[in-house]
Amino acid sequence: MTQQYRKPQKPLNPNNLFFFHLSSFVNMANHLKKPASLLSGAASAVTTTASAAVSATVSGGLQVAQLNPFNVDDDVISQNIIGIHDAQAVRQDVDSLFNVVSNIVRSSTNIADSLDLKQVKSVDLVEDNVPQSALKPSYTLLKEIACQMTCHSFNTWNAHESVVGILEKLKSYTWDAKAVIALSAFALDYGETWRLTLTQASKKENALELHVFRLAQEEKKLSQSDSDLISTLVDRTLQLINGIITLEKLIANKSYTPKDLPALFKAPRDLYTYWILLSLLACANQLSQLEWNIKSEVVARLKIVLTQLNADLDEIKRQKEALEDLSWRFDAFRIPSGIVELLKSLIFSKDVTQLEIINSTTKELVTLDELKTKNLFLFISGLDNIEDEIWSLKAIYNSISNDKDKKDYKILWVPVVENWTSEAKEKYEHLKSLMPWYVVQYFSLIKGYKPLQEEWNYTGKPIVVAVDARGKVINKNALHLIFVWGISAFPFRIEDEERVSQHWNWLWIEAFKINADIQKWVRQYNGYVFFYGGTDITWTQRFGNLIEAMKKDPIIKQTESYIEHFNLAKVDITIQTKFWFNITNSFLSKTQKVDFNLDSTLKDIQTLLSMRTERGWALVSKGENVILIDFNEVMMSVVEGFENWRTNISMSISFDIAFKDYYDHVRRTVPRHCLHFQLENIRSGVPTAFNCPDPTCGLKMEIESVKYKCCHGMHYDEHATENGSLVPIATGSLQTTNEYVSTPISKNKFT
């Protein structure tokens, strides 16, 4: 009887993968009941390969045929199969073929489970929905592998041999391609039932096909337990293949390295593929009287393998997400989109909606809106030995808090702690109590620890990163600037370091000419230097003696505070005159600028020039940074009162901070002094107008003949004195007097 097939409604595409395999199933059905000798060509090839595999020997002397995969370690299996894999195999697209074949296998499993044609679930498989695949194994290869799966008995002693035989045929393919090709070969037989059932379900029965199908159903009729077992095997095998495809895709992505995704490159793809093939062999032998417990053993082992694969995939996913998160953080460090985004990338999770930042003064959370407009000084440190930094930052905090022009600048402490023990939390709370500024309250290692190390060079030692409101870093570590120059280096940009380092050059250039030791004290030792002078020799000598005694104090030695002093009044008068002449020239040079009254350097020169004719004066510096300059009364009182503030000096509070604190206390109790400075040989018909150099004043100085005067609203009776100091007699506007006009003198009276 000639078989009649209904022609399809539209021509078949010979390149269509689905119809390629469908035609294969027809061929298998036509030969299903023929003698095994008809497949002798394929069987012969299988036998030849298997014989070669039997002769293979493991490094330990164990022959392939003797290896029981259920009783050996994974390493032994891996050593047996790694040699029959081409590590240089080019990966092809396996998704298309896997989608088609897995659909066939799953549908066949549903049919086998139902055992009732009337209950078969319909499967919608349209030709146009099946994409072409780059992986197109030859039909001959599929037939050989299919025959090897079904033409030999399957048991524990030849299972490994059978798998090795298939791997030999697939040596030149990647691990996922080996698995998908083996699944395709398996589907040649397993999918036959599905095709015939579709034919019946669509009422396009062919009598011979239906008869063959029913014969096959009778032969394949299984117990419910064995049917469930096969379904479980197929399901787990498909999950394994899907997993191995995922692994190979990631491996093929050259953007990942073993350092990026270590779990990916450690995943045993060879072992996963091995157990996929072994499972397919077990499923393909369903027609034989295979012992139920062998399949059960395969199911149990596949459960273990699948659990390991899923664990690998979960870890790879976690590492991949961590890698993407890290990439985002590095991008945010390099190209920030705002201060909030930068803080998220440094400290918190990407999707956090409330940053755990506390205002230590108000004890309240800082809102995102409040942070968006702030320029931040990020104080990043551990918990140990940061008291010096805290005290230096307190001076900055006090300065910016009391200046309305600096209201958008804030300090934020970011503690970096790997292990937040109870002891660490206690230390954190103590340090937080010392800080009046913003504090991060996040008891985990900050999320951006790696970019912090690599982008901002954090090594565990405290740093202060200056960041503007856009999130742009203007200085990766401003701590040195803060230590040396204090608020004078504000806002602590890179260019500010050059500015402040040049700010006092006019002074040190001349001081170094007088005595070379000064340069060593200032630049080599970065010490505390008292540079002083005056018209009263007794005053200068006493001041020097007090500084010398201070140097020898045990607290000064204990805290390693390096102190030196130099008395300008002791040098030759000619050298003194030249010193003041050069300082005056620096002043006049600065006045050539159009906006010289805004020049802070000019104000400092002007202040020093006003000291020239005073009884006594002194300036104190930390290295090249001049901390303060003042007259005899205040400076002598601070030095004489050393016993009152010496105990404030410690390893946590530096000498300059203790000195400045006591100076500020004394300064409030001593009336301000009148300044006098003389400008000679001015080559101009009109005297220049100067603003008062006092930073708390800045008013325009009145010109009296060739004399400048500003009393900040206070009028003095210069003939009435108390203990040698001028006595204020009234308040009001600036007053003009005709005194001290015999020479061109500029005069400024400080209240």
pLDDT the model gives residue 736: 29
For the chain, the first-to-last Cα distance in angstroms comes to 127
pTM of the model: 0.60
Q: Residues near 749 by Cβ (< 8 Å), separated by ≥ 6?
A: 674, 675, 709, 710, 711, 714, 716, 726
Question: Is the pLDDT reported for residue 163 higher than 70?
Answer: yes
Tell me the C-alpha to C-alpha distance, in Å, between residue 29 and each of 122, 188, 192, 212.
21, 10, 7, 7
Q: Each residue of 636-666: pLDDT tens digit?
A: 999 999 999 998 887 657 898 889 989 999 9
Report, in angstroms and rounded to the nearest whole number, the Rg of the chain calculated over CA atoms: 45
Place of tokens 């109590």: 433
E strand or H helix that includes residue 75: helix 74-81
Of residues 84 and 709, the one with the higher pLDDT is 84
* Core vs surface per residue 285-295: b (16+ CB within 10 A) or e: bbeeebeeebb
Phi-psi group of 356: left, alpha or beta (phi > 0 → left; psi -120 to 50 → alpha; rest → beta): beta
Question: Is the pLDDT reported for residue 253 higher than 50?
Answer: yes
pLDDT the model gives residue 124: 41
Burial zone of 189 (CB within 10 Å; 0-12 exposed, 13-18 middle, 19+ buried):
buried
3-class secondary-structure state, position 475: strand
Residue 113's nearest CA partner among 265, 238, 241, 222 is 222
Place of tokens 């009778």: 218
Residue 550 CA to residue 557 CA, distance in Å, equals 10
> Where do the structural domains in the chain lie, given as residue ranges?
17-318, 339-496, 504-667, 671-751
Q: Tell me the angle at which helices 224-252 and 292-334 cross, rounded to the nearest 10 degrees.
A: 30
Q: Tell me the angle at which helices 95-114 and 224-252 cross, rounded to the nearest 10 degrees.
A: 170
3-class secondary-structure state, position 720: strand
pLDDT the model gives residue 190: 67
Give the DSSP per-residue string, 359-370: ETTTTEEPPHHH
Residue 262 CA to residue 73 CA, distance in Å, equals 22
Q: Strand 357-359 to strand 364-365: parallel, antiparallel, or no bridges (unpaired)?
A: antiparallel
Question: Is the pLDDT reported for residue 41 higher than 90?
Answer: no
Of residues 128 and 476, the one with the higher pLDDT is 476
Q: What is the mean pLDDT of residues 361-389?
A: 91
Q: Name the band, by pLDDT with cuts 50, 70 and 90, for residue 44.
A: very low
CB under 8 Å, gap of 24 or more: what pairs does 32-38 form? 32/192, 32/212, 32/215, 32/216, 33/212, 33/215, 36/151
Question: Is the pLDDT reported for residue 43 higher than 60?
Answer: no
Residue 135's identity, in one-letter code, is L
Q: Strand 409-415 to strand 473-475: parallel, antiparallel, or no bridges (unpaired)?
A: unpaired
Q: What is the mean pLDDT of residues 542-562?
A: 92
Give the DSSP per-residue string, 516-551: HHHHIIIIIS--EEEEEE-S-HHHHHHHHHHHHHHH
Give the DSSP per-residue string, 384-435: SS-HHHHHHHHHHHHHHHT-GGGTTEEEEEEE--S---HHHHHHHHHHHHT-
Place of tokens 């035989």: 165
Contact 80, 64 (CB under 8 A): yes
Residue 265 CA to residue 248 CA, distance in Å, equals 10
Of residues 153 and 346, the one with the higher pLDDT is 346
Question: Is the pLDDT reported for residue 46 higher than 60?
Answer: no
Topology given in CATH for the domain delimited by 339-496: Glutaredoxin (3.40.30)
pLDDT the model gives residue 391: 86
Cβ neighbours around 257 below 10 Å, total: 10
Q: Residues near 352 by Cβ (< 8 Å), separated by ≥ 6?
A: 344
Give the DSSP per-residue string, 612-655: TTSS-EEEEEETTEEEEEEEHHHHHHHHHTHHHHGGG-SSSS-H
* Core vs surface per residue 622-631: b (16+ CB within 10 A) or e: bbbbbbbbbb
Chain centroid to CA 390: 25
Query: 67-76, 233-242, 329-338: which range is least confident on average?
Result: 67-76
Spatial strand order in the sheet of 375-381? 364-365, 357-359, 438-440, 409-415, 375-381, 463-467, 473-475
Q: Each residue of 399-421: pLDDT tens digit?
A: 898 888 898 999 999 999 999 99
Tell me the C-alpha to C-alpha distance, in Å, between residue 165 and each of 95, 138, 284, 324.
25, 17, 15, 41
Residue 514 CA to residue 523 CA, distance in Å, equals 16
Residue 440 CA to residue 371 CA, distance in Å, equals 13
Q: Each residue of 164-174: pLDDT tens digit?
A: 999 999 998 99
Q: Which two tokens stand for residue 560?
A: 């390693």
Question: Is the pLDDT reported for residue 740 higher than 50?
Answer: no
pLDDT the model gives residue 750: 30
Question: Is the pLDDT reported for residue 233 higher than 60?
Answer: yes
Question: Is the pLDDT reported for residue 735 higher than 80?
Answer: no
Question: Is the pLDDT reported for residue 504 higher than 90?
Answer: no
Contact 71, 79 (CB under 8 A): no
What whole-number percentage of the chain has pLDDT above 70?
A: 70
Question: Is the pLDDT reported for residue 103 higher than 90?
Answer: no
E strand or H helix that includes residue 450: helix 449-455
Question: Is the pLDDT reported for residue 466 higher than 50?
Answer: yes
Query: Which residues, in sequence order, are bridge partners of residue 674?
Result: 749
- Average pLDDT over the chain, rounded to an integer: 76
Query: 51-55, 231-235, 580-584: which range is least confident on average?
Result: 51-55
- What's the DSSP call for residue 488? G
pLDDT the model gives residue 717: 45
